[in-house]
Structure 1
Amino acid sequence: MDLATILGLVIALVGLLGGFIMDKGSLASLIQPSAALIVFGGTIGATLLSNRMKSFTSIVRYLMIAFFDKTKPPHGTIDLLVEMAMIARREGILALEDKVDEFDDPFLKNGVRLIVDGVDPELVKQMLEIEVSFIEQRHEIGVTLFESAAGFAPTMGIIGTVMGLVHVLGSLDDVSTLGPEIATAFIATLYGVASANVFWMPIANKLRVRSQDELLEREMTIEGILSIQAGENPTVLRQKLLSFLAESNREGKGVGTPDGETAKA
């Protein structure tokens, strides 16, 4: 599991609930099933209403992406591209045909097949960039889904509070119960604002971070494939691909020698 996601969620909940307890609050007073039904039921319904059913039913998959970091290390992709550049320089691009089926990444597999088939470099670049643009659009669907929920949740909380106050003001016979009933009514606002800022919006942001990481890896792959097709030196290629990474993240072993020095073709 992704430590940052889990740790962030835990710290946020501990901070909120811990502060409430330190202020001599009772956790039992925060449990209001009716408020939860109004806020979470209303949020889910409004989110479903504003998105496609197919997108909404993929919410579990989006949560898995947020909580489990499956992003490939960039150095692994760089090493693979440099290795292919070395093979292409020694044996020719057609020698890569035997390695295509070994790739797990369909995007990389498709790109290598294009250059093995002798497709024009400009067309290769255009086709791969089109695929990247559609990958980005698909990622945005998940982000939009959680951003929608984050927008609806606080409003549903206010609606729940207003509904509670309507009930309270409609029965003012017993003034002694007025305070507790008003406090209970505001639990709905708490549910709405807290869920939006502790869960819905952070998950949307996490999905956007995951998307940016994958898109960076795709752009790096495109550059690597085009460089292999152009017959660039593997050492030059490695330096070019490392420029996609932050300077602090450029350390890593290269392909070709035990001590990590990049082999030259």
Structure 2
Amino acid sequence: MDPATILGLLIAFGALFGTITLEGASVASITLPAPMLLVLVGTVAVGMAGSTMKDFVHAVKSLPKAFTGKPPKPGESIEQIVALADKARREGLLSLEAAAAETKDPFLRNALQNIADGTDGEDLRELLDDAVETKIKSDHTAAKFFTTLGGYAPTVGIIGTVVSLTHVLENLSKPEELGHMIAAAFVATLWGLLSANFIWLPIGGRLGRLSELEVDRMILITEGVLAVQAGSQPTLLRERLTAMVPAYRQHGGKKSGGSGVQARDAA
């Protein structure tokens, strides 16, 4: 897994609690159950209200991916496709059917099976492009849900503060308690801003970025398998696919043993 999200959130909350400690305040002063309940539960509830139940369930199921999702390694995909190109040139396109059966990636497996079945290049491109578009729409739904929560949270926090201040005004006859009550009232606003910028927006951004990387990988595979179908020369294919990947993301490929096909052929 990529630790960026977990590490970033730990540092952010660590900075927050460090600031509270340096200011001489107590962490307990901002962890009041009532405002936290309203902001966290209320934000999720209004987010669900502004969506559909299926979209909500899909977003919740996508949540673990924000913390455990692994960015794809384009270098490995490139080497795997190059190995397939070499195999197809030596053994023919029908040999890709066996490679498809050994491939764990459903997108690549479907593409290889269609090549082995003799699907026309234009039809195959249309099929793969449709799969990419569906992936984009599905991932966008989950990322947008959490980004939307980031927009709702500050307003819900303000609502909580207004509710608490109303209670404060009801107790003006107790001046000795006003300071504590006013401070508690603003905890809701704090958690509205805090949850938006420390939780919801980072999660939405993370899911969106992982989706972009996965879509890039699918596009890379699309161009690669179509080139394999057209009989592209493996070395030139590697150069072409490598040129499609930013330099800082090109590391991580394995030029030997990068796929089951390549390892078997080498043997």
TM-score normalized by structure 1? 0.92
Task: In structure 2, give the amino acid aligned to 1:105.
Answer: D
SS in 2 for 1:44: helix
User: Cα deviation per residue 1:8-47 (whole Å; 9 max; x = unaligned)?
Assistant: 0000001111111101111111121111121112111101
Q: Does 1:107 align with 2:107?
A: yes
CA distance in 2, matches of 1:89, 1:162: 71
- Is the 2:136–2:211 contact (alpha carbons within 8 Å) kept by the matching residues of 1? yes
How far the C-alpha of 1:63 sits from its partner, in A, is 2.1
SS in 2 for 1:24: coil
Q: Relative contact order: is structure 1 or structure 2 higher (C-alpha 8 Å, sep ≥ 6)?
A: 2
- Is the 1:83–1:255 contact (alpha carbons within 8 Å) kept by the matching residues of 2? no
Question: What residue in structure 2 maps to residue 193 of structure 1?
Answer: 193
Alpha carbons of structure 1 residues 26 and 98: separation in structure 2 relative to 1, 3 Å: same
CA distance in 1, matches of 2:222, 2:41: 44
Deviates more, 1:248-257 or 1:180-189: 248-257
- Is the 1:114–1:124 contact (alpha carbons within 8 Å) kept by the matching residues of 2? yes
Q: Structure 2, unaligned stretches of length 5 or more?
A: 259-264
Deviates more, 1:211-220 or 1:17-26: 17-26
How far the C-alpha of 1:60 sits from its partner, in A, is 4.2
CA distance in 1, matches of 2:195, 2:94: 55
Q: Does 1:98 align with 2:98?
A: yes
Question: What residue in structure 2 maps to residue 27 of structure 1?
Answer: 27
- Is the 1:100–1:113 contact (alpha carbons within 8 Å) kept by the matching residues of 2? yes
Alpha carbons of structure 1 residues 45 and 56: separation in structure 2 relative to 1, 3 Å: same
CA distance in 1, matches of 2:215, 2:158: 38
How far the C-alpha of 1:59 sits from its partner, in A, is 4.1
Deviates more, 1:215-224 or 1:167-176: 167-176
Deviates more, 1:164-173 or 1:239-248: 239-248
Deviates more, 1:82-91 or 1:63-72: 63-72
SS in 2 for 1:168: helix
Question: What residue in structure 2 maps to residue 73 of structure 1?
Answer: 73
CA distance in 1, matches of 2:157, 2:250: 46
CA distance in 1, matches of 2:87, 2:133: 30
CA distance in 1, matches of 2:172, 2:48: 38
Deviates more, 1:144-153 or 1:205-214: 144-153
How far the C-alpha of 1:71 sits from its partner, in A, is 3.4
Which structure 2 residues correspond to residues 63-212 of structure 1 after superposition, within 5 A? 63-212=63-212
User: Kindly, what percent of the aligned residue pairs are identical?
Assistant: 40
Deviating beyond 6 angstroms after TM superposition, the runs of 4 or more aligned structure 1 residues are none
User: Cα deviation per residue 1:121-177 (whole Å; 9 max; x = unaligned)?
Assistant: 111111110110010000001111101211111111000000000110122101121
CA distance in 2, matches of 1:141, 1:52: 10
Q: Structure 1, unaligned stretches of length 5 or more?
A: 258-262
Q: Does 1:247 align with 2:247?
A: yes
How many residues are matched?
258
Question: What residue in structure 1 maps to residue 261 of structure 2?
Answer: none
Task: In structure 2, give the amino acid aligned to 1:45.
Answer: A
- Is the 2:74–2:250 contact (alpha carbons within 8 Å) kept by the matching residues of 1? no
How far the C-alpha of 1:255 sits from its partner, in A, is 4.5
Compute the RMSD of aligned alpha carbons: 1.7
